[in-house]
Amino acid sequence: MFSRPASFHDFLSRSNHTDKIYEALGNEDLSEIVIAALDVLRKTHQLPTRLPDIKNELISTEHRKKGNIALERGKYQIALICYNQALLLAPKNSREMILAISNRSALFLKLKAYKACLKDIDTCFSMGCPSEIIGKLTKRKRDASVLAKENTLDVIFTAFARKHSECTPSNSEIPCATSDIKAVGSVIPKIVASNDIKIGTVICCERAYVSYTDPYNTLYSCHFCQKMTLNLIPCEGCSFALFCDEECKSKCFDEYHKYECAIMNLIRDISFGPMPNLMIKATLKMRAKCKSWRELIDASYNMGIERIKSSSIKEVFDVDSIFSVLNQVDDKPFIYGVKYDACFVCASFIHYLDEIPLFFPKDIDAKKQAMCALGRIMMFLSLYIVPWQVVQAAMILNTERSHYHGKPNVALFSFIGKLKNSCTPNVAAVYRNNKMSLITLQSIKTGEELTISYQHHWLEQEYEKHSRNVTTFLYHGKFMKKY
């Protein structure tokens, strides 16, 4: 439906529902158009279909067997995809889950990723692996242990990355930054140097408020922190999210995945591009962090410039401030096209969130207010928030060389996302998983405003895309038959 907006608009016109949407477009309350769209979608039975998301051992087995075939043929990238897909579809603690992890350990042994191999083998033993594979796993563990001592090819950071990927925050108002910068301005704060800053200084390291994993990266990356790692573990509730460890899985559930998990298939099907995904994640995070619906409802009436005026500097820029992303300048022109397109997506999310037991209040009036609050916040984020591409530096397993990863993820940043954009910036962004560090590109004088390029940093001598990707984590396999 939403993939064919022109056809959907024609349908609304023929069914005489466009007038209601157009009338709501002009209303200053951003929830009005979302609730109007929800009413239209329900009356016309045009809500997107949400297919069941059920773990299935048979389908998991099919993916695992495809992985085995790929491994035999030396197509290691495809094998990893298949094993992780099998892991996602396998029921919790099932035989098929153990077999998927076991087969993945064989792939890691082939790739000389010995620590990853050993970790998967230990996981299999801890889950109670089937008796018929105990001997095979024991031998594999013995081989990997010996080889790990002889030839460790762990992914490492270059000396520069180790030195410059982190900083020591010391700023009381902007917790992710150093004391080299400060916020000034009585209405809309801007960030300036509080003292002279030398070139090459790391001035902040900020974690994303929420992040979006590019579809190409979902089977290689942690759903929460975006780390590309080998020993991914699956979500127990959905067949879409992988995590690097139990800590990330727990944090993700606490922040938003406890709600997101139930509608992951809907998010995938109607999120054309990263913004709908970021919008719903950020909104669900606010709901999860709020002590009550009343707190979220009140926040939905105080967004944009008016919220900035009444907030402290820390509330505006601190990622740990629940509503920091609502402190966004909201004076953008030409918003009606986006409002029209986004209202149906927001309405669909609200409809299916209503199917989650106990998500909304039981009281009819309270439920209506809660729905309006979600619609208001989601629409605000769709219109005014600026998403940032997160371009990772991927390390090659057997060297210390690094390259740009070819498929960037996208994230929302409470502090860096509000810096002034410039074609000649004085700071550059360096990314690591779901974190962004800022490094000065030139000496910055006291009182000078910090500026950043909206586009990520680039190579002076660019490699052709395919040539770059074949040497990174993106592609790994046999390209020539030996005779």
Q: Which domains does the chain have, with CATH numbers?
A: 57-150 (1.25.40.10), 159-209+389-469 (2.170.270.10), 218-383 (no CATH)
Phi, psi of 121 (to 5 degrees): -65, -45
Type of residue at 288: A
Q: What is the pLDDT of residue 188?
A: 86
Q: What is the pLDDT of residue 61?
A: 97
Of the pLDDT bands very low, low, confident and very high (cuts 50, 70, 90), residue 168 is confident
Closest alpha carbon to 219 in 228, 206, 207: 228
| Euclidean distance between CA atoms 274 and 409, whole angstroms | 8
Q: What is the pLDDT of residue 40?
A: 92
Tell me the average pLDDT across 173-197.
Answer: 93
- pLDDT tens across 264-321, in order? 999 988 877 899 999 999 999 999 999 999 999 999 999 999 999 999 999 999 999 9
In Å, what is the CA distance from 315 to each residue of 189, 195, 292, 432?
Answer: 12, 23, 19, 24
The H or E element containing residue 32 is helix 30-44
Structural contact between residues 38 and 386, judged by C-beta atoms closer than 8 angstroms: no
In Å, what is the CA distance from 422 to each residue of 193, 333, 389, 452?
Answer: 16, 20, 16, 6
| Euclidean distance between CA atoms 76 and 434, whole angstroms | 26
| Euclidean distance between CA atoms 73 and 87, whole angstroms | 21
**Edge-to-edge strand list for the sheet holding 202-207:** 202-207, 435-440, 427-432, 451-452, 420-421
Q: Say if residue 483's pLDDT is above 50.
A: no
Closest alpha carbon to 239 in 259, 217, 268, 213: 268
Structural contact between residues 196 and 433, judged by C-beta atoms closer than 8 angstroms: no
- Tokens for 13? 């016109």
Q: Say if residue 400's pLDDT is above 80.
A: no
Closest alpha carbon to 120 in 133, 108, 130, 128: 108
Of the pLDDT bands very low, low, confident and very high (cuts 50, 70, 90), residue 33 is very high
Q: Say if residue 342's pLDDT is above 50.
A: yes
Four-CA torsion 230, 234, 235, 239, nearest 10 degrees? 120
Type of residue at 207: R
- pLDDT tens across 85-143, in order? 999 999 999 999 999 999 999 999 999 899 999 999 999 999 998 999 999 999 999 99
Q: What is the pLDDT of residue 196?
A: 97
Q: What is the pLDDT of residue 163?
A: 55
Q: What is the pLDDT of residue 115?
A: 92
Q: Say if residue 165's pLDDT is above 60.
A: no
| Euclidean distance between CA atoms 231 and 269, whole angstroms | 27
